[in-house]
Amino acid sequence: MSLDGQLPAKTRLLRAAAELLAKSAGAPVSTRQITQLAGVSAPTLYHHFGDKEGLFDAVVAAGFEEYVKGERDFAPSGQPLEDIRRMWDNHVQFGLNQPELYLVMFGNIRPDSRPAIVADAEALMEEMLNKAAAAGQLNVQPREAARSILA
């Protein structure tokens, strides 16, 4: 079975890799599996992403771009703790709406190739936590809390 052939090859590769990574339960995913599901040849993968790790990094980055877009659309209420709860609810809902992508995003980040967009997600969370800290409602450092929440 392959993905919709009407989609661009790059999109099919991203979707195939995300799906296979999420379903692999930590087992290796081969370029053959990815290209077969995407309905493309191996040179197409290398053309768009350089190598398999480049593709995996792109899957994580694309997921976080979508995640951060949702967080940027968040409208603060002026009540820091309530905003943190709502942001957490949005985080959980993102995972429920896209469980395969969520597993890939939060389970496959290689420390040596952490996408910059992950830092953007942490910065948005940290901004919210800074407001709670300034109001005396947070007992830990906002940066550490943000990293723990997004771990």
Q: Which residues, 6+ apart, have CB-to-CB distance to 94 below 8 Å?
A: 67, 70, 102
Mean pLDDT in the chain?
A: 86
Q: Say how many C-beta atoms besides its own lie within 10 A of residue 143's C-beta.
A: 14
Helix (H, G, I), strand (E, B) or coil at 88: helix
Q: What is the pLDDT of residues 68-127, one digit of tens each?
A: 888 778 788 889 989 888 888 988 999 898 887 888 787 755 666 667 777 888 888 888
**Range list of H helices, 6-141:** 9-23, 31-38, 42-49, 52-72, 80-97, 99-107, 116-134
Sign (positive or negative) of CA dihedral 138, 123, 116, 25 = positive
Using the predicted structure, report yes or no on whether residue 4 has a pLDDT greater than 60.
yes
Q: 46 falls in which pLDDT band (50, 70, 90)? A: very high
Helix (H, G, I), strand (E, B) or coil at 1: coil
Give the pLDDT confidence score for residue 110 in this predicted structure.
61
| Domains of the chain with bracketed CATH | 1-50 (1.10.10), 60-151 (1.10.357.10)
For a pLDDT cut of 90, what percent of the chain falls above it?
27
Higher pLDDT, 34 or 105: 34
